[in-house]
Every structure is written in structure tokens, then in C-alpha cells.
């Protein structure tokens, strides 16, 4: 890229409004974070309808940043407060992602023929499906880059975290460009936010999977119809010969109705024999069998086995438990399960599976609900837990800027008065959970589900991510009690 390339591209844009100064610094890089800018930066600033006013955004993010040019999707009041030498380009709202892509092509070019990309969307199960796919492809000799909730991994080895399920497009292109000589396949989670905001715009998918669809993220999408419509945009990322696979009849039928002729294949969940379940206990869960089915289907398409020739090779043997997804420790008759379940459907799914697999067990569930998100799911989560648990401990889970007691009060409206207790601070709730477990008769089968945090190693409180881990807490209490995992 020559120093004038970015300037020429910006100057050629069909925009809603622009301010081109008579003299502007040479443009050398593109950024999406204001604190990463320098005097040669083009800052891409995507404006959302999140309740904050224009003055707040300009004061908080823009005035102190040294960027040379600004590209945004909406004209905001107060642009004149920015330095006169700053170029400003306001795109047509629907063109914003395409402008980002064109700039990425200059700074972070990719050869689309050099690697295969696949994507996974859905309310739950994205991470598990991607990690299963990674394991299956790696066993076939593929070099796999995965991008998702657990961060970025190359050939199964964690590299770094992005802080996003699906990173913004500039960040995505940056990492794809940086790692381009190291991978043959990119397997990425594609969230509804990413699809709505164009974070994967211009990335062509060989194939895609849609795990399931239940209510979530209505704080952002506002209603179920817009949430589904956002997820359905994954079809727009498919290559001309690409296909979307799902094991959800509801998703398949609804997509076919909304998008007649779209390349959608409905799959039946794989049957897993006793040998597989004995060696891979997480496959006892029905939703994991669905995730596995999708992973095998995606692997087939990556490997060119579209006729199903790859099926039947016992791909399950290559799988490992995904961190924070039905992560089990068994101590005699006690089974501890750490899981990321943080939606009504996810709790319903995992608890019904636990109740089915352990019909005689005492089931104890510790859970909470995040703040600053869809309040409507809180009583539904409480109801799901109450249906299957003998006792529940309701606690905190990333309260963010809300009072955790207010969040818990919302949860409790979906639960009966009995069979529950409240321990607001999560570490104290973990202590209480182990008090209950240790007081149960040693021969009493019991399962303790610790839900909501999964792989996360922090609690998000008042804008600060305080170090915290359910896994570390479990290890601490097991050591204190002298409990050892059964062989």
C-alpha cells in the first residue's frame, strides 16, 4: 500500500457528508479503537442506537484521540468540535461495512483461495461446534485457526483472546492477515451482533452451521423477529456453492419460509453408541450430539466429502471436552459440572439432561444472570432451574452496572418460594454450595451444576473485570475438603 492509497479510497467514496481538510496527514493505518490511533490513523467509528447522546460519545472517545480521518455510519451533532485538520466521512448506513472491507483489502489483504472459511451461528452451542470441528479437521491433517468465545487458537493451541465472540471486522482481518501462512481452515463463531454490524462482511464461507434458536440478546435486537433476521444474514456470507446445515427443524422451516430457495440442509442428530459415551461422557448430552453432527457435516464440506464419505470414521474419538462446557469432576457419588449455560434454553437443556442421566441424584444448581442485558430472560432462567433442581443457590454473574440484588429479584419471580436461597457474592455462594454437598450422606448420588461463567475468568462489576474463576473455586474447596477426583 502506498501512503496515498487510503486517501484516494476515502476521496472516491459516495458518502452522505464529508469534510476534507486542505491538508491532512499521510494516512498509514486503520483502527477501530480510539486508544490505538496515531496521527496517521483512519478511525472507523460505528454508531449504535444505545441511548448515549452524541456529545457523550465525542467527549469520551473522539476528542482525545490523534486520528487523521474519521469514518462513521451516522452524522452526529458536534463534528465541528473535532480539529479542523481531521477528515470526516459519513457513509450511507448500509455501506459502512463495505467501506471497512475495502480499506481492509488495502491494509490486510487476503488470498481467498488460500484457505477455507466456515462459520457457526446459533443461540447456544457455537463454541462447542467450532471446537469439535477443529478436533476433527486437525486429526485429518488440516491446520485450523479458530475464532470465538474462547479466543483465537491455532491447531488447538490458544494464541490470544479478542474479548469478543466475533471480533470487529478490522480486528478480524488483522488477525487473519497476520496468521495467513499458518492455517488452511478458519472456523469461526458468528454472533448475531456480528451479523447485524457487518463484522464478517466480505468473508466468504464454504459452509455454515446454525445450532439452535432461542430468545436472547433482546436488549440489543429488541424483539425476536429482528434477532432471527440478524442471524439469518449468515446466508449472505456463503460462497455461491455454499450450504447452511442445521439440526433444528424450527430453524430450517423458518429460514425456508423467509428465504425461499436458500441452500439449507436439515440433518438428523448422530446416534452415539455406549462406547463413545463411556469414553466421551459429554456426548451423553443431546445438544452435544447435535453439535457433533454439525461439526462432522462442516468437516465433510471442508474436506470435499460432500457425499458423506467422511461420515462413519468415528470422529468422536478425536473430541475433547470444551473448557467450561459440561466440565465434570466426579468425587465418589458427587458429580460437579461447570457449564457456560446462561440462557433459559441452555439451563433447560443441561438440567433436563442431568436429570435424565442421574434420575436418583440430588441436583443442586448455582447460577445467576448478567446485568445490562435482556431482563425478560431472568425469571425464565429461574423457572428452568426450579423445574429440575432439588435446591438452587441464586447468586451474581457479571452484574455489570446493575445492582446484583435487583437482578436476583427478577430471577426469583420465576421460582417457587421453597427450594432456593440467595447468596449475592459468587465466592460466598460457592462456599455455601460445598457446605451443602459435604453435608449430604456420602452414598447419596448428587450433581452440582455451577452455571453461567464456564470458561470466563472474571466477574464484570461496575466496569471492572475482577479476577474470578469457578474452576479455581472448585479446586480450592476440593483441596480444603480433601476431595479427590475418582479414577
β-sheet with 420-422: strand ranges across: 327-331, 334-339, 446-451, 362-367, 391-394, 420-422
pLDDT score of 261: 94
Percent of the chain residues topping a pLDDT of 70: 95
pLDDT under 50: residue ranges of the chain: 306-309
pLDDT score of 121: 97
| Strand spans (E) along 20-109 | 29-31, 41-45, 69-72, 87-91
* Interatomic CA distance for residues 224 and 50, integer angstroms: 18
- Transcribe 404-469 into DSSP letters: HHHHHHHHHTTS-SSSEEE--SHHHHHHHHHHHHHHS-TTS-EEEEEES-TT--EEEETTEEEE--
pLDDT score of 70: 96
Q: Which domains does the chain have, with CATH numbers?
A: 3-107 (3.40.1390.10), 116-318 (3.40.1190.10), 327-481 (3.90.190.20)
- Transcribe 326-350 into DSSP letters: SEEEEETTEEEEEE---SHHHHHHH
pLDDT score of 24: 75
pLDDT score of 400: 94
For 37, how many CA atoms within 13 A lie in the half-sphere containing its CB?
Answer: 25
pLDDT score of 218: 56
Confidence (pTM)? 0.84
How confident is the model over 162-197, as pLDDT tens digits?
989 999 999 999 999 999 999 999 999 999 999 999
pLDDT score of 306: 45
Contact in structure between 244 and 265 (CB atoms under 8 Å): yes
Distances (CA, A) of 445 to 92, 250, 276, 331, 359: 61, 36, 23, 10, 9
pLDDT score of 219: 62
Burial code of 168-189, b = ≥16 C-beta within 10 A, e = fewer? bbbbbbbbbeebbeebebbbbb
pLDDT score of 222: 67
How confident is the model over 429-471, as pLDDT tens digits?
999 999 999 999 999 999 999 999 998 999 999 989 999 999 9
Amino acid at each position: 500500500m502506498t501512503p496515498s492509497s487510503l486517501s484516494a479510497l476515502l476521496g472516491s467514496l459516495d458518502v452522505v457528508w464529508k469534510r476534507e481538510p486542505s491538508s491532512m496527514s499521510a494516512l498509514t493505518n486503520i483502527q477501530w479503537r480510539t486508544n490505538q490511533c496515531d496521527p496517521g490513523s483512519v478511525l472507523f467509528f460505528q454508531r449504535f442506537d444505545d441511548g448515549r447522546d452524541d456529545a457523550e460519545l465525542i467527549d469520551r472517545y473522539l476528542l482525545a484521540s490523534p486520528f487523521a480521518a474519521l469514518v462513521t455510519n451516522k452524522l452526529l451533532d458536534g463534528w465541528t468540535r473535532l480539529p479542523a485538520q481531521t477528515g470526516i466521512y459519513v457513509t450511507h448506513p448500509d455501506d459502512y461495512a463495505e467501506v471497512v472491507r475495502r480499506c481492509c483489502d488495502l491494509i490486510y489483504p487476503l488470498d481467498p483461495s488460500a484457505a477455507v472459511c466456515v462459520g457457526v451461528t446459533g443461540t447456544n452451542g457455537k463454541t462447542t461446534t467450532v471446537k469439535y470441528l477443529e478436533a476433527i479437521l486437525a486429526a485429518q491433517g488440516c491446520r485450523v485457526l479458530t475464532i470465538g468465545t474462547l479466543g483465537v487458537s491455532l491447531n488447538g493451541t490458544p494464541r490470544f483472546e479478542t474479548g469478543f465472540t466475533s471480533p470487529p471486522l478490522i480486528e478480524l482481518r488483522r488477525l487473519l492477515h497476520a496468521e495467513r501462512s499458518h492455517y488452511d481452515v478458519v472456523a469461526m463463531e458468528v454472533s448475531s451482533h456480528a451479523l447485524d454490524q457487518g463484522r464478517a462482511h466480505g468473508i466468504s464461507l464454504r459452509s455454515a452451521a446454525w445450532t439452535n434458536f432461542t430468545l436472547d440478546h433482546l436488549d440489543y435486537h429488541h424483539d425476536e423477529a429482528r434477532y432471527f433476521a440478524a442471524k439469518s444474514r449468515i446466508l449472505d456470507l456463503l460462497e455461491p456453492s455454499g450450504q447452511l446445515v442445521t439440526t433444528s427443524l424450527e430453524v430450517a422451516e423458518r429460514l425456508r419460509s423467509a428465504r425461499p430457495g436458500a441452500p439449507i440442509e436439515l440433518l438428523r442428530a448422530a446416534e452415539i453408541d455406549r462406547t463413545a459415551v463411556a469414553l466421551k461422557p459429554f456426548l451423553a448430552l443431546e445438544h452435544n450430539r447435535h453439535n457433533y453432527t454439525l461439526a462432522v457435516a462442516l468437516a465433510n464440506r471442508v474436506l470435499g466429502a460432500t457425499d458423506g464419505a467422511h461420515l462413519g470414521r468415528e470422529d468422536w474419538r478425536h473430541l475433547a471436552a470444551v473448557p467450561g462446557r459440561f466440565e465434570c469432576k466426579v468425587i465418589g457419588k458427587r458429580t460437579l459440572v461447570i457449564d457456560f449455560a446462561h440462557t433459559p434454553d441452555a439451563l433447560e437443556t443441561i438440567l433436563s439432561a442431568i436429570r435424565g442421566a442421574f434420575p436418583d441424584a440430588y441436583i443442586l444448581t448455582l447460577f445467576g444472570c448478567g446485568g445490562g442485558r435482556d431482563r425478560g430472560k431472568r425469571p425464565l432462567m429461574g423457572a428452568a432451574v426450579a423445574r429440575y433442581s432439588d435446591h438452587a443457590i441464586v447468586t451474581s454473574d457479571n452484574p455489570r452496572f446493575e445492582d446484583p440484588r435487583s437482578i436476583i429479584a427478577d430471577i426469583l419471580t420465576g421460582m417457587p418460594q421453597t427450594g432456593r436461597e440467595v447468596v449475592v457474592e459468587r465466592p460466598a455462594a460457592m462456599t455455601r454450595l460445598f457446605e451443602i454437598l459435604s453435608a449430604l450422606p456420602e452414598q447419596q448420588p448428587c450433581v452440582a451444576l455451577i452455571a453461567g461463567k464456564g470458561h470466563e475468568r472474571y466477574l464484570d462489576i461496575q466496569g471492572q473485570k475482577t479476577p474470578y474463576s469457578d474452576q479455581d473455586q472448585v479446586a480450592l474447596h476440593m483441596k480444603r475438603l480433601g476431595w479427590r477426583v475418582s479414577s
